Amino acid sequence: MNQPTLTRRALMLALAACAAGAAHAQDDYPARPITLVVGYPAGGSTDLTARLFGEALSKRIGERVIVENVGGAGGAIGAQRVAKARPDGYTLLLGASNEMAIASLINKAVKYDGLKDFTPIGMISTQPMVLVASANSPVKNISDFLAQARAHPGKFSFGTSGVGTALHLSAESVKEAGGLQLVHVPYRGVAPLASDIMGGQLQFGVFVLSSALANIRAGKLAPIGLMQATRAPLAPEIPTFAEAGLKDVDMDIWFGLYGPAHVPGPVVGKLRAALDDVLKMPEFRGKMQESGSTVAAPGVDLAQFQRKETEKYKRIVEFARIEE
């Protein structure tokens, strides 16, 4: 007669114990190393950002932060792994604009949603993109570029490191804003693209500023203009397309910190507090600025920012009819 009552009581006690255990785990967070996934191979701008951020975050929280490179599909494989991870705060993603906001717009094979399947924790940084030409090109500035492109529709080509990347979309935004006809040539990596531009096989290319700056300073590449609305502290001498009247050209590469969907609120709160502290660290800010990045202000609403960016990318993808 008392068996059902005892069973219910045991079940209630077990549930209470589980809840207490979960709450204790959240209070103690982090109690072991955190894995920070990067969806790209070692050596690129996303990897560098992750390693600088991971080092600073480790100092702030007192636990190891292990950067794990899970490359492939333009960052989507790494993002997918985090989307499917246990939402306990111990597997995080340093996500970039490509895999978090662009990939699903152009590639039907991408099954995750950049917002619904993740917990957006906060912004980390941005990096500007730059259109360049060969040092021997007669085109030396934005005015020359626009004049030549408008006078010879379809004659000029630009290269990027892949179809549907932020680099590609930024050039498409220039085409749309300027009423230009340019041909896109995708490359597998920055090195062959830079080599072909310097060798005169390709007229123009779009790069992350930090990856092109050494060749610009060496006189091997000529900077035409930045794709963001404001000049970059790392190279304030390079003008922007917005300055030349193309006000709608305002795009950079951005990086944010994410967890899987449904990370507990207390853990998210601790991560956001730690992130805000890292963004204020002079050492971290100095290293990031040296790498060509602009550190985000603490407290940026990453979800709101990402929604606006995704709408912008969607419009450009539809204009350019980009599809993988």
As a whole number of angstroms, the distance between CA 78 and CA 71 comes to: 6
Amino acid type, 40? Y
| Pairing status of strand 157-160 against strand 204-208 | parallel
The least confident of 1-5, 125-129, 241-245, 295-299 is 1-5
User: What whole-number distance in Å separates Cα of residue 254 and Cα of residue 261?
Assistant: 20
Give the pLDDT band (50/70/90) at residue 135: very high
Backbone angles phi, psi at 242, to 5 degrees: -60, -40
* Cα dist from 112 to 37, 44, 100, 277, 297, whole Å: 16, 24, 9, 30, 28
Domain with CATH 3.40.190.150 in the chain: 18-127+252-320
Residue 20: the pLDDT is: 46
Q: Biggest alpha carbon distance in the chain?
A: 95
The CA distance from 122 to 64, in Å, is 20
CA-only gyration radius of the chain, Å = 23
pLDDT above 70 covers a percentage of the chain that reads 92
Positions of CATH 3.40.190.10 in the chain: 129-226
- Asked if the bond preceding 30 is cis, omega within 30° of 0, the reply is yes
Assign 14 a pLDDT band (cuts: 50, 70, 90).
low
Beta-carbon contacts of 27 under 8 Å, excluding residues fewer than 6 positions away, are: 266
CATH domain 129-226 topology: D-Maltodextrin-Binding Protein; domain 2 (3.40.190)
pTM value is: 0.87
Burial class of 77 by CB neighbour count within 10 A (0 to 12, 13 to 18, 19+): middle
| Helices and strands (H, E) in the chain, number of each type | 12, 11
Residue 140 confidence class, pLDDT cut points 50, 70, 90: very high
DSSP secondary structure code for residue 75 in this structure: G
pLDDT digits (tens, 9 = 90+) for 61-116: 999 999 999 998 889 999 999 999 999 999 999 999 999 999 999 999 999 999 99
Residues 6 or more apart in contact with residue 68 via CB below 8 angstroms: 35, 36, 37, 38
Q: What is the rounded CA–CA span in Å between residue 184 and residue 165?
A: 12
Looking up tokens 């606006």, which residue turns up?
308
Mean pLDDT of the chain: 92
Q: Which two tokens stand for residue 267?
A: 């853990």
Tell me what pLDDT residue 6 has.
53
pLDDT at 74: 87
pLDDT digit string, tens, across residues 250-286: 999 999 999 999 999 999 999 999 999 999 999 999 9
Residues 6+ apart with CB under 8 A from 16: none
Q: What is the pLDDT of residue 43?
A: 84
pLDDT at 25: 57
Q: Domain 18-127+252-320: which topology? A: D-Maltodextrin-Binding Protein; domain 2 (3.40.190)
Comparing 18-27, 79-88, 166-175, which segment has the lowest mean pLDDT?
18-27
Tell me the average pLDDT across 124-147: 96
What tens digit of pLDDT does each residue of 87-97 get? Answer: 999 999 999 99
The whole-number average pLDDT for the span 163-177 is 95
Residue 291 backbone phi and psi in degrees, to 5: -85, -5
Please state, in angstroms and rounded to a whole number, the distance separating the CA atoms of residues 260 and 258.
Answer: 7
> Measuring CA to CA, which residue among 276, 289, 252 is closest to residue 98?
252
User: Residue 10's pLDDT is what?
Assistant: 57
CA-CA distance, 286 to 95, in Å (whole number)? 21
